[in-house]
Structure formats: structure tokens, C-alpha cells
Amino acid sequence: MEDRDNQPRWYVVHTYSGYENKVSQDLATAVENRRMQDLIQDIKVPVEMVTEIKDGKEREVEHKLFPGYVLVKMIVTDESWYIVRNTRGVTGFVGSTTKPLPLSDAEVEKLGVEVHTSEVNFSVGESIQITEGPLAGFVGNVEALDLENRKVKVKVSMFGRETPAELDFTQVTQL
């Protein structure tokens, strides 16, 4: 059951509906009591705030994005698997019964579970070098930065014409 890379990954834990917060609290308590913070690092119940109108009054209400599920960031070992699996209200991991399947990096990003802050060392108006993709080797001028989506809009001079391109931060470098 030992995880090969010993890197913490996000796993989806199935719970009884309505028990998500209780499972999260009980699991956090068990982790603290057993000093397992290095194995089970984070526990989340994804929620969103929704405005409801009831009796003519508006109020902000918290809605669970995935009723019946809790997300756990952990390194899977026999001990950590046992702690999560035997927490009251947990029915099991999503995936195989013998080895839980972690969420892919793309799934974690799409769910917004982990927020990656972006720090760039270039700004609008500066020239940058494109290092990856079909425009690799070209130089362009930064038109706009989208820090949330980690994108940069660039104008590249190709064959005497200005061509717009949208690239990931990882595809460019400062000149």
C-alpha cells in the first residue's frame, strides 16, 4: 500500500450525505491526536456561497459542491489509509477498494482545491522570449497578464506582421 513517490496527493473520500463536515472534523482530530500531520496534510469540504431569496429576504448560504465527498491531501501508507477509512461516516475512497486513486494535477486545478499563486518577473509592455510551443524562439511584447489563469497575451512580429498569441507563463521568459 506504500505510495511510490512519497508525495502528498489529493484523494476523494466518500461519506454519508450530510456527514461531510463531521468527517472532516473527526479526521482532523484523529490526525492531530496521532501526530500524523506529515502523512495527512489537508482536509477540505468544497463549498460555494450562494445567494438565496427566502420570504423576500436575501441571504448568503453555503452549498456543498460535492455532497457526500471530502477531499484529503495525504501520503498513502497502511496507517494513513486505515485512519481515513475507519473514520466514522466514511464509506470508502473513490477508486479501487485496495488502493485509492489520487486526483490528477489537472483535476485538482479544475476543482480549485489548491490555489497556485503566480509570480512573474515581466510586465505589460516588456519584451519576452518564447521558449516552448510553435512560436519557440520568437520575441514578443507583453500585451496583458492573466495571473489567475497563468496566461500572458503577447504580440509577436512574424513575417512583418504583428500576430497575437496567448501563452502559459511556463512558455515564456524575460529577456
pLDDT one-digit tens code per residue, 80-124: 999 999 999 999 998 876 778 898 888 887 777 765 555 678 888
Indicate whether 166 belongs to any domain: yes
Residues 36 and 67 in one domain: yes
pLDDT one-digit tens code per residue, 34-92: 999 999 999 999 888 888 888 878 888 888 888 999 999 999 998 999 999 999 999 99
Indicate whether 118 belongs to any domain: no
Buried residues in 9-32 as b, exposed as e (16+ CB within 10 A): bbbbbbbeeebbebbbebbeebbe
Output the domain CATH number for residue 158.
2.30.30.30
- Asked if residue 61 lies in contact with residue 85, where contact means CB atoms within 8 angstroms, the answer is no
Residues 27 and 68 in one domain: yes
pLDDT one-digit tens code per residue, 155-167: 998 888 999 999 9
Q: How many domains does the chain have?
A: 2
